[in-house]
Amino acid sequence: MILSLKLEAVSFLNIIQPLTLEIEAGPSTIILGANGAGKSVLMRLMHGLIAPTSGAVLWNGSDVRRKQAMVFQRPVMLRRSALANVVYALEAAGERDAQPTAMAALKEVGLAHLAHRPARVLSGGEQQRLALARAWALHPEVLFLDEPTASLDPSATREIEAVIRAFDASGTKVVMATHNLGQARRLGDEVLFIHQGRLVERAPVERFFKQPGSPEAAAFIKGELPWD
């Protein structure tokens, strides 16, 4: 996979200050910062859900988006079975014989035994895994994750993190927003640290936690940075 996602002087209202960065294929990228720092807005700009107030978001030098998927903190479940939710995503993407692929995706996330259960009666963790199954079925080159475990218990969080690792191992580029330091350590290879809408620091995860390069990052790691 040849991926180059570039943000050129991108801003959004007063939430994201003008920033320029490039994300390449390879190990996972964590967008880290306190609540209200602008992580979710930055993810939506990258994914193309919202347009920047200024600047440009370019995929390999053009504005045509790569094959990608996004999973939110509270995913929307259709009023149908778990299997039908995945089938719907596949058919929307143009796949004709969607059911076998959908079942394989449910199996990958450990939900095959719940394939015919209504999606809206699943637990929070199961719904999040179902959202990941919808993404898995599409074989995205890039997967954007917006605080995917923020409202889940430790057991469900472990299950979600296992699926995220499977995406990473499959070659999908994972870009995930979180405020959870432990999760950033477990899943990240590099960190983009956002504070008050500004990209303050970019560093490999080990260096970020051992030798933060900015006062804001150091304070956040110590739990001393006020949340917005």
Task: Report residue 185 as tokens.
Answer: 């350590």
In eight-state DSSP terms, residue 200 is: E
User: Percent of the chain having pLDDT more than 70?
Assistant: 94
Average pLDDT of the chain, as a whole number: 92
Q: Residues 33, 123: one domain?
A: no
Q: Is the pLDDT of residue 3 over 90?
A: no
Tracing tokens 């993190």 back to the chain, one arrives at 161
Is residue 168 within 8 A of residue 175, CB to CB? The reply is no
Q: What angle do CA 177, 183, 189 make, to 5 degrees?
A: 75
Q: Is the pLDDT of residue 90 over 60?
A: yes
Encode pLDDT of 179-199 as tens digits. 899 999 999 999 999 999 999
Backbone angles phi, psi at 216, to 5 degrees: -65, -45
Q: Is the pLDDT of residue 1 over 90?
A: no
Q: Is 176 helix (H, G, I), strand (E, B) or coil?
A: strand
Last residue of a domain, one of 139, 155, 178: 139
Number of compact structural domains in the chain: 2
Last residue of a domain, one of 139, 155, 170: 139
Of 181, 205, 176, which Cα lies nearest the Cα of 191? Answer: 205
Q: Residues 107, 160: one domain?
A: no
Q: Counting Cβ atoms within 10 Å, is residue 42 exposed (0-12), middle (13-18) or buried (19+)?
A: buried
Backbone angles phi, psi at 97, to 5 degrees: -95, 75
β-bridge mates for residue 68, sequence order: 142
Q: Residues 146, 216: one domain?
A: yes
Of 181, 182, 149, which Cα lies nearest the Cα of 164? Answer: 149
Q: Residues 50, 101: one domain?
A: no
Q: Residues 87, 152: one domain?
A: no
Q: Residues 42, 103: one domain?
A: no
Lowest mean pLDDT among 2-6, 153-157, 200-204: 2-6
Range of the domain at 89: 71-139
- Could you tell me which residue, 202 or 65, shows the higher pLDDT? 202
| CA 98 – CA 87 distance, rounded (Å) | 5
Q: Residues 148, 176: one domain?
A: yes
Q: Is the pLDDT of residue 2 over 60?
A: no
Query: Residue 222 belongs to a domain with what CATH number?
Result: 3.40.50.300
Is residue 183 within 8 A of residue 147, CB to CB? The reply is no
Q: Residues 111, 121: one domain?
A: yes
Last residue of a domain, one of 139, 160, 181: 139
| CA 113 – CA 106 distance, rounded (Å) | 9
Q: Residues 75, 187: one domain?
A: no
Q: What is the CA radius of gyration of the chain?
A: 18
Q: What is the pLDDT of residue 195?
A: 94
Q: What is the pLDDT of residue 66?
A: 64
Q: Residues 117, 206: one domain?
A: no
Is residue 192 within 8 A of residue 175, CB to CB? The reply is no
Q: Residues 50, 157: one domain?
A: yes
**Concatenated DSSP letters of 105-156:** HHHHTT-GGGTTSBGGGS-HHHHHHHHHHHHHHT--SEEEEESTTTT--HHH
Q: Residues 149, 58: one domain?
A: yes
Q: Is the pLDDT of residue 48 over 80?
A: yes
Is residue 131 within 8 A of residue 75, CB to CB? The reply is yes
Q: Is the pLDDT of residue 228 over 60?
A: no
